Structure 1
Amino acid sequence: MENSATTKAKVREDAGLDIASAGFEKEISKITLAAGGIMAGLVGIWGITCLAAGLIAAGGPVELAKAWFSAVTGG
C-alpha cells in the first residue's frame, strides 16, 4: 500500500500538468467553437439565399410551394 504523502505528491504533480496545459486546451476550445459558429452562420446565410433565389425563380411563395409539391409527388 502506498503512503498517503506519496499519493498526495503524485496527485499534485498530475494536477500541475493539467493546470499548465489547461490554458492551451481552453484556447483550442474557443477557436473550435468560434469556427463552428462561423460555419453555422455561413450555412444559414447560404440557406436563406437559396430560398430567396427559389422564390424569385418560381414567381412567389405560392408558386414555389406548388412546384415543390409537384416535384415531390411526381405530378
Structure 2
Amino acid sequence: MRITSIQLTNFKRFTDLIIKDIPTASKLVLLIGSNGSGKSSLFDAFEYINRAIKREALSGYEVLDGYFKKKKDLDVFVK
C-alpha cells in the first residue's frame, strides 16, 4: 500500500493539514521539522487509523470519533 495523500482535521496540533501529490515512486519520505512541529503527531495519526481499522474489523463498530480531539465540540477527521 502506498500513501498518496494525508488529511488531518482537528487531530492533536493540526486544525487542517493536507499533504497531497506524494509521488508513488518514492521509496523514502523524510519528515523534517523543529521540536513541537508535529512530526510525531503525524505518526500518531497512522497508528490511530491502524487501530481503528483493526477494532472495526474485529468488532464491527466504528471507532473513529472522539480520539485526540483538541476541543470537545470539534469533529476529528483523519483520512
Q: Same fold (TM over 0.5)?
A: no
By percentage of residues, which structure has more strand? 2
Q: Which has the higher contact order (CA 8 A, sep 6+)?
A: 2
TM-score by length of 1: 0.33
By percentage of residues, which structure has more helix? 1
TM-score by length of 2: 0.31
